[in-house]
Amino acid sequence: MKKVLIFLCFIKVISINAQEIYQSFSAIVENEATGFPMESVHVVNLNIIIGATTDEKGVFEIPAKVNDTLYFSYLGFKPLKVAVTQDMVKFKNSKFKLTELAFALEEIILRPYQLTGYLDIDVKKVPINSAGRYSIPGLPNSGYEGGSRNPYSISKTFASLFNPADYLHNLFGKNPIQMKKLKKMRENDEIKNLLASKFDREILMQLLKIERYNIDDILRNCNYSDNFIKESNDLQILEAISGCYEEYRVLKL
């Protein structure tokens, strides 16, 4: 009787382990309105930080298992987040449909610079990023953006460095698992290509499981200017957060 129980337990363990093994999951992405396959749709497995892209037939292939979450993103279409089910893995005939967004374009007024043709005069009309950056020897990042160019910006930079508990602990310390995903995100070319084309922070929010205001808070407390926060693409934001997190870890030690 004991041998039978041991054998059954062994079979159960094997079954559980088999469910945890990642296998190649493939499906098709279509335009909901037309039913046509969609090429170049980005698909990200949020659980293991791996990305893929659909081909000309709308087909993608990505490692996944039951209960993983797939995130679909394509410019001009509403993002889609789907949990992988047992049926999806078993039958391998899933189709996902993306819905096109309707954009209402507002009136745009262009105000060209009134140039005179004289370089000495016209160069003064070119907008300049007022953020100052300071390089700290021994730390991996290229520098810190201290905000406006004034005598107090350098003080703010050093204050944030030498008081990480006040500035960064509440942001990084409470999300250690999410922050560890930064390295995986930077190593995956598909995700990097996706982030380089986006400015909405949606992928970062989904991967790191933080809100938009958390991202802005991190960057501000790492002394990045509002101009950088507003104008940078998602890949630049990823690099900035990653660099700031690595410096936080160094200072914490």
Is residue 113 scored above 90 in pLDDT? no
Report if residue 3 sits inside a domain.
Answer: no
- Looking at residue 95, its pLDDT comes to 96
Query: Given this model, what pLDDT does residue 202 score?
Result: 92
Q: Quick one: 4 exposed, middle or buried, by C-beta within 10 A (0-12, 13-18, 19+)?
A: exposed
Residue 10 lies in a domain: no
Regarding whether 223 and 179 lie in a shared domain, the answer is yes
- Least confident piece of the model among 113-117, 148-152, 203-207, 230-234: 148-152
Domain end position, chosen among 113, 142, 159: 113
Which range of residues forms the domain containing residue 163? 127-252
Amino acid letter, 124: K
The last residue of a domain, from among 80, 113, 146: 113
Contact call for residues 154 and 134 (beta carbons, < 8 A): yes
User: pLDDT tens-digit profile of 188-215?
Assistant: 888 998 899 899 999 999 988 888 988 9
Final residue belonging to a domain, choices 113, 145, 164: 113
> Is 139 inside a domain boundary?
yes
Mean pLDDT of 79-98: 93
In-domain check, residue 198: yes
Q: Is the pLDDT of residue 74 over 90?
A: yes
Co-location of 27 and 105 in the same domain: yes
Helix (H, G, I), strand (E, B) or coil at 30: strand
* pTM of the shown model: 0.66
Claim to verify: residue 80 and residue 154 sit in the same structural domain: no
Contact 112, 52 (CB under 8 A): no
Number of domains into which the chain is organized: 2
At 98, which CATH number?
Answer: 2.60.40.1120
Q: Give the three-class secondary structure for 140.
A: coil
Same domain, 150 and 240: yes
Q: Does an H or E element contain 148, and which?
A: strand 144-148
Q: Does 133 share its domain with 106?
A: no
**Is the domain of 136 the same as that of 245?**
yes
- Looking at the structure, do residues 101 and 133 belong to the same domain, yes or no? no
* pLDDT tens digits for range 146-180: 444 444 444 444 444 444 445 566 667 766 777 77
Both 138 and 231 in one domain: the answer is yes
